[in-house]
């Protein structure tokens, strides 16, 4: 029989230390605790934390559909000709695709998500064009801007995930993609308004270019990296 | 040929069970455990057969939980029952997709057979009768002996009757209700254990030593244990310097003692015994007097019935009945999270002295009653007596063993021998 010298309780043969105060039980006359089966086996039963994300998508879809139907009904009942409800319904559907469809897709697929977002926004732009009676701004401004931003995101994903170099080179690549995107956006907006005269994108691009160059230098010079690291680590 | 028993294809949840499907979460469900350690290793094939026979005799245990538009209910389950190996973290399983959907599990480890049951199905007394019947059936098949039936062991040859799955809360409730207003209780704090892990300490105490100590203080064993527990909690609360809230012990009451009930489902109530440390120092005698006074008052039949009737009245509220289940569940879950375990520090369930049939006792060495981990409170305690020993199981969800240490060392100081073991070596 072994007792805990602090608590005074008798310890079962399977206990190597007192469960109450963790005091070890040195008793050469006892069999080693691992030779005596414990009151419970060593195996641990894990429970699966199952989160039903698709159920979340279903609920969100039902909610959006309900709100859309309500909006359409109010517009139909209160106005002689339905108008504003299409803007709201279109925006809600767009929101559903951007925010909740990713819940339905298994795994991490950034290209698929971005493509779906582009399609959703493009369709919404087309709807707005139809409702406003003019497609000019849609095809000459909105869709080109969307396309440029989407391409920028594709490039960013590629650079950050697939480009197998150091983190600073990848950040520099991302910044370059951002600069090109801003130049393209500036050009598209200028072309829509009158003629191409790149303006704000140059001012925004210069500091980003400087930062990208700095990242490239950091990647190539280990000493510079260490010098910075020891001054600013946290 | 015996007449086939008329077992319903579905039954409503009893009044106490209704809260649990709403309150459960992905990581918690109200599960407790009873086990019997036999004199020989378990034969799994025979136990499987015994389990099937026991389920034929007590079919309510085979039901699965299903959801309707307004209420959840128990539905017949035609699946095959499986035996499970035991684990180091008992009572933490939750229903998973793809499971056989039984609301209980039978686990085997060496010479021990354990029954883990969801509170949706039954309470401690109902589950004990199932386990005793299962073990009796097993022993009859394994040892070739005949075991007489008693309060715990049901007659396997008898057909199941409606009294065994009846909701006796509804049957015995009356019109008078009681206010549920109470003061919030002090809660034990500690560093949480990793998810899914429980700390279990089992203490075995000779019943004679306890009876002698209780006799010396002119109280019952249960009151004596509760008093020592209060002393331990008061010491911890004093160290914690949080004297404003009372320490409250929740004590379940078996309602089968008050009403002629044969139900195997839930039929228990509870009352909370408070002690306010802010009023001053209490001796053990003071605490015993406090517990006795509260127990004598709260266990009066009219008061117990009023508490039970309050819950039944809530269930029968016409507005609540018409609320769809998914809204009801959200409301009940919120209410449980806010108030369910707020009004007591910890609960101490006592199944009392289990009196198995004389022909079964030589084959059953030990009985354990393990409470499941609470949803919010960090510690639960349960007590059961068998033959010459009382077994107290502490289940905690924190690293610290302050309460167990204070409680058990106080018993040792009162010259009561204590033998302990744990699931974390």
Q: Phi, psi (5° rounding) for residue A55? A: -60, -40
Report H helices in chain A.
53-78, 84-95, 101-104, 110-132, 136-137, 143-157, 167-193, 200-220, 222-232
What is the rounded distance in angstroms from the CA atom of residue B23 to the CA atom of residue B32?
A: 15
DSSP class of residue B80 equals P
What is residue B294's predicted lDDT score, i.e. its pLDDT? 93
Q: Please count the residues of chain B.
A: 425
What is the rounded distance in angstroms from the CA atom of residue B370 to the CA atom of residue B105?
A: 14
Q: Do A20 and B86 touch (CB under 8 A)?
A: no
Contact A173, A163 (CB under 8 A): yes
The partner residues of B252 in beta bridges, in order of sequence, read B270
Q: Do A45 and B94 touch (CB under 8 A)?
A: no
Q: Do B425 and A50 touch (CB under 8 A)?
A: no
Residue A189 CB coordination number (10 Å)? 17
What is the rounded distance in angstroms from the CA atom of residue A87 to the CA atom of residue A82?
A: 10
Report pLDDT digits (tens) over A150-194.
999 998 888 877 767 778 888 888 899 899 999 999 999 988 888
Residue B408, H or E segment:
helix B402-413
Smallest CA–CA distance from A47 into chain B, residue: B93
What is residue B4's predicted lDDT score, i.e. its pLDDT? 56
More confident of the two residues A14 and B425 = A14
| Rg for chain A, CA atoms, rounded | 32
Chain A stretch 48-77, residues whose beta carbon is closer than 8 A to a beta carbon of chain B: 48-51
pLDDT of A14 over the 90 cut = no
B38: three-class secondary structure by DSSP: strand
Q: Which residues in chain B have their CB less than 8 angstroms from residue A40's CB? A: 86-88, 90, 109, 200, 423
- Which of B196, B203, B421 shows the shortest C-beta gap to A46? B196
What is the rounded distance in angstroms from the CA atom of residue B371 to the CA atom of residue A70?
A: 50
Q: Which of A169, A161, A163, A177 is nearest to A215 (CA)?
A: A169
Q: Do A19 and B420 touch (CB under 8 A)?
A: yes
User: Which two structure tokens, joined as six digits, stand for A54?
Assistant: 């698709």
pLDDT of A48 over the 90 cut = no
The partner residues of B385 in beta bridges, in order of sequence, read B353, B390
Smallest CA–CA distance from B201 into chain A, residue: A19
Q: Do B412 and A8 touch (CB under 8 A)?
A: yes
What is residue B374's predicted lDDT score, i.e. its pLDDT? 87
What is residue B386's predicted lDDT score, i.e. its pLDDT? 95
From A26's Cα to the closest Cα of chain B, the distance in A is 15
User: Which two structure tokens, joined as six digits, stand for B17?
Assistant: 């069970």
Q: Which of B409, B354, B38, B7 is nearest to B203 (CA)?
A: B409
| Best mutation target, B408, B421, B423, B424, to test chain A (most A CBs within 10 A) | B421
- Which of B86, B92, B421 shows the shortest C-beta gap to A41? B86
Q: Which residues in chain A have their CB less than 8 angstroms from residue B419's CB? A: 9-12
Per-residue pLDDT of chain B (425 residues; tens, 9 = 90+): 455 557 888 899 999 999 888 888 767 778 999 999 999 999 999 999 999 999 999 999 999 988 888 888 998 888 888 899 999 888 877 665 555 688 999 999 999 999 999 999 999 999 999 999 999 999 999 999 999 988 899 998 889 999 999 999 999 999 888 888 888 999 999 999 888 889 999 999 999 999 999 999 999 999 999 999 999 999 999 998 888 899 999 999 999 989 989 999 999 999 999 999 999 999 999 999 999 999 999 999 999 999 999 989 988 888 888 888 888 888 888 888 888 889 999 999 999 999 999 999 999 999 999 998 888 889 999 999 999 999 999 999 999 999 999 999 999 999 999 999 999 86
What is the rounded distance in angstroms from the CA atom of residue B156 to the CA atom of residue B63?
A: 19
What is residue B94's predicted lDDT score, i.e. its pLDDT? 66
> Terminus-to-terminus CA distance in chain A, angstroms?
54
Helices A110-132 and A143-157, packing angle to 10 deg? 170
What is the rounded distance in angstroms from the CA atom of residue A149 to the CA atom of residue A156?
A: 10
b/e string for B17-55 if b means 16 or more Cβ within 10 A? Answer: bbbbbbbbeeebbbbbbbbbbbeeebeeebbbebbebbb
Long-range contacts formed by B382-385: CB under 8 A, 24+ apart: B382/B32, B382/B124, B382/B348, B382/B349, B382/B350, B382/B351, B383/B222, B383/B225, B383/B348, B383/B349, B383/B350, B383/B351, B384/B34, B384/B350, B384/B351, B384/B352, B384/B354, B385/B207, B385/B351, B385/B352, B385/B353, B385/B354
Q: Considering chain A, what percentage of its residues have pLDDT values greater than 70?
A: 91
What is the rounded distance in angstroms from the CA atom of residue B400 to the CA atom of residue B381?
A: 15
From B278's Cα to the closest Cα of chain A, the distance in A is 28
Q: Which residues in chain B have their CB less than 8 angstroms from residue A15's CB? A: 420-422, 425
What is the rounded distance in angstroms from the CA atom of residue A61 to the CA atom of residue A103?
A: 11
Smallest CA–CA distance from B424 into chain A, residue: A19
What is residue A16's predicted lDDT score, i.e. its pLDDT? 86
Which value, to the nearest 10 degrees, does the dihedral of the CA atoms of residues B294, B295, B301, B304 take? Answer: 70
B127: three-class secondary structure by DSSP: helix
Helices A110-132 and A84-95, packing angle to 10 deg? 180
Give every CB contact of residue B147 below 8 A, 6+ residues apart in sequence: B136, B139, B140, B153, B357, B359, B360
- Which of A15, A45, A47 shows the shortest C-beta gap to B421? A15
A-B CB pairs within 8 A amount to 98
User: Which two structure tokens, joined as six digits, stand for B79?
Assistant: 């699946």
From A11's Cα to the closest Cα of chain B, the distance in A is 5
Contact B70, B328 (CB under 8 A): yes
DSSP class of residue B59 equals G
More confident of the two residues A22 and B5 = A22
What is the rounded distance in angstroms from the CA atom of residue B307 to the CA atom of residue B290?
A: 21
What is the rounded distance in angstroms from the CA atom of residue A141 to the CA atom of residue A133?
A: 15
From B348's Cα to the closest Cα of chain A, the distance in A is 19
What is the rounded distance in angstroms from the CA atom of residue B121 to the CA atom of residue B101?
A: 12
Q: Report yes or no for ipTM above 0.85.
A: no
Determine contact: A35 vs chain B, CB below 8 A: no
The CB-side HSE value for B157 (13 A sphere, CA atoms) comes to 7
Q: How far is CA B356 from CA A207, B97, B127, B323, B365, in A?
A: 85, 37, 14, 45, 11
Q: Which residues in chain A have their CB less than 8 angstroms from residue B203's CB? A: 9
The partner residues of B107 in beta bridges, in order of sequence, read B84, B114
Residue A64 CB coordination number (10 Å)? 18
Q: Which of B241, B280, B262 is nearest to B162 (CA)?
A: B262
Contact B273, B225 (CB under 8 A): no
- Residue A63 CA, distance from chain mean position: 23
Q: Which of A44, A45, A35, A37 is nearest to B109 (CA)?
A: A37
- Which of A37, A40, A47 shows the shortest C-beta gap to B196? A47
Contact A57, A43 (CB under 8 A): no
Q: How far is CA B138 from CA B232, B325, B342, B388, in A?
A: 41, 40, 42, 24
pTM: 0.74
What is the rounded distance in angstroms from the CA atom of residue B49 to the CA atom of residue B55?
A: 10
Which is it for the CA torsion B6, B8, B12, B13, positive or negative? positive
Smallest CA–CA distance from B84 into chain A, residue: A45
């Amino acid at each position: 029989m072994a007792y805990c010298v602090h608590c005074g309780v008798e310890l079962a043969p399977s206990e190597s230390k007192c469960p109450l105060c963790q005091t070890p039980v040195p008793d050469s006359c006892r069999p080693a605790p691992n030779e005596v089966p414990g009151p419970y086996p060593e195996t641990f039963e894990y429970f699966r934390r199952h989160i039903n994300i698709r159920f979340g998508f279903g609920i969100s879809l039902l909610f959006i559909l309900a709100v859309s139907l309500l909006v359409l009904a109010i517009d139909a009942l209160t106005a002689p000709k339905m108008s504003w409800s299409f803007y709201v319904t279109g925006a809600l559907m767009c929101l559903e695709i951007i925010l909740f469809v990713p819940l339905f897709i298994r795994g991490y697929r950034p290209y698929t998500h971005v493509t779906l977002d582009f399609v959703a926004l493009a369709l919404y732009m087309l709807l707005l064009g139809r409702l406003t009676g003019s497609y000019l701004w849609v095809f000459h401004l909105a869709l080109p801007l969307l396309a440029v931003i989407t391409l920028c995101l594709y490039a960013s994903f590629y650079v950050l995930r697939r480009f197998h170099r150091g983190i600073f080179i990848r950040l520099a690549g991302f910044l370059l993609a951002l600069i090109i995107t801003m130049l393209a956006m500036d050009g598209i907006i200028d072309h829509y308004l009158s003629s191409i005269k790149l303006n704000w994108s140059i001012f925004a691009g210069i500091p980003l270019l400087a930062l990208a160059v700095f990242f490239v230098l950091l990647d190539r010079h280990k000493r510079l990296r260490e010098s910075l690291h020891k001054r600013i680590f946290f | 040929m015996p007449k086939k028993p008329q077992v319903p294809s579905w039954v409503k949840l009893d009044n106490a069970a209704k809260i649990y499907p709403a309150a459960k979460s992905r990581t918690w469900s109200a599960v407790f455990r009873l086990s019997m350690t036999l004199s020989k290793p378990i034969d799994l094939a025979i136990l499987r057969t015994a389990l099937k026979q026991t389920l034929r005799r007590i079919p309510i245990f085979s039901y699965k939980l299903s959801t309707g538009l307004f209420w959840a209910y128990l539905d017949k389950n035609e699946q095959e029952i499986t035996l499970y190996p035991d684990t180091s973290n008992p009572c933490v399983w939750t229903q998973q997709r793809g499971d056989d959907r039984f609301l209980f599990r039978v686990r085997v480890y060496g010479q021990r057979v354990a029954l883990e049951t969801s509170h949706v199905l039954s309470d401690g007394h109902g589950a004990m009768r199932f386990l005793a019947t299962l073990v009796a059936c097993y022993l009859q098949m394994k040892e070739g002996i005949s075991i007489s039936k008693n309060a715990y062991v049901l007659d396997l040859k008898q057909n199941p009757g409606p009294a065994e799955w009846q909701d006796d809360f509804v049957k015995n409730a009356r019109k008078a209700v009681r206010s549920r207003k109470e003061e919030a209780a002090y809660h034990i704090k500690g560093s949480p254990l990793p998810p899914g892990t429980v700390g279990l300490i089992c203490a075995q105490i000779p019943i004679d030593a306890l009876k002698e100590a209780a006799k010396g203080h002119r109280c019952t064993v249960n009151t004596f244990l509760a008093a020592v527990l209060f002393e331990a909690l008061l010491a911890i609360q004093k160290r914690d310097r949080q004297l404003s809230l009372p320490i409250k012990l929740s004590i379940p009451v078996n309602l089968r003692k008050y009403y002629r009930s044969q139900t195997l489902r839930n039929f228990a109530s509870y009352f909370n015994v408070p002690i306010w440390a802010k009023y001053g120092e209490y001796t053990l005698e003071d605490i015993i007097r406090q517990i006795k006074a509260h127990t004598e008052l709260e266990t009066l039949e009219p008061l117990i019935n009023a508490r039970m009737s309050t819950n039944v009245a809530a269930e029968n509220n016409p507005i609540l009945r018409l609320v769809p289940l998914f809204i009801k569940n959200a409301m009940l879950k919120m209410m449980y999270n806010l108030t369910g375990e707020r009004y007591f520090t910890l609960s101490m369930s006592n199944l009392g002295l289990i009196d198995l049939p004389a022909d079964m006792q030589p084959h059953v060495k030990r009985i354990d009653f393990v409470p499941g981990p609470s949803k919010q409170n960090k510690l639960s305690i349960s007590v059961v007596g068998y033959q010459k020993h009382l077994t107290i199981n502490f289940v905690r969800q924190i690293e610290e063993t302050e309460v167990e240490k204070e409680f058990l060392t106080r018993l040792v100081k009162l010259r009561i021998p204590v033998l302990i073991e744990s699931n974390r070596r």
